[in-house]
Amino acid sequence: MAAAVRLLPALTFTLLSCFAAAVFARRDVLELGDADFDYLATEHETMLVKFYAPWCGHCKKLAPEFEKAATRLKGTVQLAKVDCTAHSETCSRFGVSGYPTLKIFRNGRDSAPYDGPRSADGIYQYMKKQTGPDSVHLKTDEDLNTFINHYDASIIGVFSGADSSHLSEFLRAAALLREQFRFAHSTDVELGKKYGAKSECVLLFRPPRLNNKFEDSVVIFTDYLTVGSLRRFIRDHLYGLCPHMTVENRDRLRVRDLLTAYYDLDYHHNPQGSNYWRNRVMKVASKYTGHGLTFSVANKKDFLSELEDDFGLGTSDGGELPFVTIRTKLGHKYTMREEFTRDGQSLERFIDDYFTGRLKRYVKSEPLPNRNSAGVKVVVAESFDDVVNDPGKDVLIQFYSLSCPHCKKLEPVYRELADKLQHDPNIVIAKMNAADNDVPLGYDVQGYPTIYFAPVGRKDEPIRYEGGRELKDFLKFLKRESSHSLQLGGSKEEL
């Protein structure tokens, strides 16, 4: 008994320590409300605020990632959250209309929306770029060398003095573009001379890890400096002949027809091995400059789910060799089926076949149905052209998902519609599982069910159905849009 009593103080101290540690950890994310938002926000130079609702599923998913990022950013960027169900005045003041909404604040002022990744690492990397000045002032060669020796590219303005009009425009551009790029400047023109600068200019240093013999590692901008002209210069020269595509920059790269080689790329732990395959891609890419095809390399693991969904890549496919795809800006997809050879000849053959039109597009499709005699015709990606784009028939096509409750609710009505029109030879009522089949261009499917009407003579201009979901609503729409008078139950229906 006495021993147990002696243990109580130690146990109490341990429990209190654990409780204090738990409270301390939770405080990595600052909780703000109507009463203290303005007061506490002004204490932080840079702060990321999450406006959320406790019932919101996306908010719950984000919460642990937000907490991890807050811990990693502690001491550099403060992360905070506002419960909009309890503090609606603050949320309304900052225009919050959906959850979660993330905003970047500087010294208490709403500076910019946060449009970066929602993972802990993504938030960390994005917000690290938000710290410090818009453009770092470089005073010595050592400063410049330290700045450009970085994982990412560097944009450095070299000016004749602090009163340069070009410097003020450069700083304005840096303030607007700092979320995407790293900026620095110097008021000593001499610092840029060894890189080819003869007067005031902007130097773009590509990432050192991507230096290669096929292109310059530094590009000089000497045009008239405006925010717009500098933005265009960065866009056109930042990535070079064969950039490293990441989850963060993929959308900026995919505005053009893009060939990507996916493999075990890891510039943090294996830069030499990562550049082994990239150099082989670049050797081939250098032969196709000006042909309208851009090139990139990527870590296969970062895009595995996308490769599985969009290109049918299995987890064991490809092995150590790169898996090569082409994705056009129109959404057409091609895969290189031949093994990637170290001399690059297989890649050249793949590209030549692409330009000469000998490649067959990759289309994700379910198998063709063995029987398709029901009133509602089942369409898969491979049969879409034959059914929906039949030049002699009007087609109403529903894009659905097997897990969608609204689709299941619509099913009996849609089936009744097909039965009503089963004797009309001029119209087809169809459906396609959009989760397991590629949706063709021209059809914008963001949710389920989405319904389009492809009329005779206008197959390239499908009409999105926005009406009600009752039988009478569909019939009214089809009577108005069909190229022929409807035949209901075998008799022609006059309008």
* Strand, coil or helix: 392: coil
- Residue 4, in any domain of the structure: no
pLDDT averaged over the chain? 89
- Residue 35, in any domain of the structure: yes
* 22 pLDDT above the threshold of 80: no
Answer yes or no: are the C-beta atoms of 311 and 362 closer than 8 Å. yes
User: What is the reported pLDDT for 198?
Assistant: 85
Q: Are 62 and 151 in a shared domain?
A: no
Q: pLDDT: is 315 or 464 the higher one?
A: 464
Of 149, 150, 156, whose CA–CA distance to 135 is shortest? 156
Which of 324-360 are b and which e, b meaning 16 or more Cβ less than 10 Å from the residue's Cβ? bbbbbeeeebbbbeeebeeebebbeebbeebeeeebe
Catalytic residues: 56, 59, 404, 407
User: What is the reported pLDDT for 18?
Assistant: 39
CATH of the domain at 468: 3.40.30.10
Q: Are 392 and 481 in a shared domain?
A: yes
* Strand, coil or helix: 179: coil
Q: pLDDT: is 220 or 179 the higher one?
A: 220
* 491 pLDDT above the threshold of 60: no
Q: Are 351 and 251 in a shared domain?
A: yes
- Which among 324, 355, 386 is the end of a domain? 355
> pTM of whole model > 0.85?
no
- Residue 6, in any domain of the structure: no
d(CA 19, CA 17): 5
- HSE on the CB side for 9, CA within 13 Å? 3
Q: Are 397 and 467 in a shared domain?
A: yes
Q: What's the Cα-to-Cα distance from 227 to each of 12, 161, 233, rounded to whole Å? A: 62, 19, 10
User: What is the reported pLDDT for 330?
Assistant: 81
* 110 pLDDT above the threshold of 60: yes
What are the pLDDT digits (tens) for 114-155? Answer: 988 999 999 998 898 788 788 999 999 999 999 999 989 999
- Which among 178, 205, 237 is the end of a domain? 237
Q: Are 485 and 392 in a shared domain?
A: yes
Q: Are 384 and 488 in a shared domain?
A: yes
* 480 pLDDT above the threshold of 90: yes
- Residue 3, in any domain of the structure: no
User: What is the reported pLDDT for 13?
Assistant: 41
Would you place residue 316 in the very low, low, confident or very high pLDDT band (cuts 50, 70, 90)? low
Helix locations, 149-249, DSSP H: 165-177, 227-237
- Residue 29, in any domain of the structure: yes
Find where tokens 């990637």 sit.
Answer: 340
Strands 218-221 and 201-205: antiparallel
User: What is the reported pLDDT for 7?
Assistant: 44
How many domains does one find in the chain?
4
Burial class for 484, CB neighbours closer than 10 Å (0-12, 13-18, 19+): middle
Q: Are 410 and 466 in a shared domain?
A: yes
Q: Are 165 and 225 in a shared domain?
A: yes
- Residue 8, in any domain of the structure: no
Answer yes or no: are the C-beta atoms of 221 and 233 closer than 8 Å. yes
Mean pLDDT of 321-344: 92
- Residue 191, in any domain of the structure: yes
Q: Are 321 and 218 in a shared domain?
A: no
User: What is the reported pLDDT for 310?
Assistant: 85
- Supply the DSSP string of 246-260, one letter for each residue: -TTTHHHHTTS-EEE
Domain span at residue 423? 377-492
User: What is the reported pLDDT for 17?
Assistant: 41
- Which among 187, 204, 237 is the end of a domain? 237
What are the pLDDT digits (tens) for 56-85? Answer: 999 999 999 999 999 999 988 999 999 999
What are the pLDDT digits (tens) for 383-428? Answer: 999 999 999 999 999 999 999 999 999 999 999 999 999 999 999 9
Percentage of residues in the chain having pLDDT higher than 90: 71
- Residue 41, in any domain of the structure: yes
Q: Are 172 and 207 in a shared domain?
A: yes
User: What is the reported pLDDT for 434?
Assistant: 93
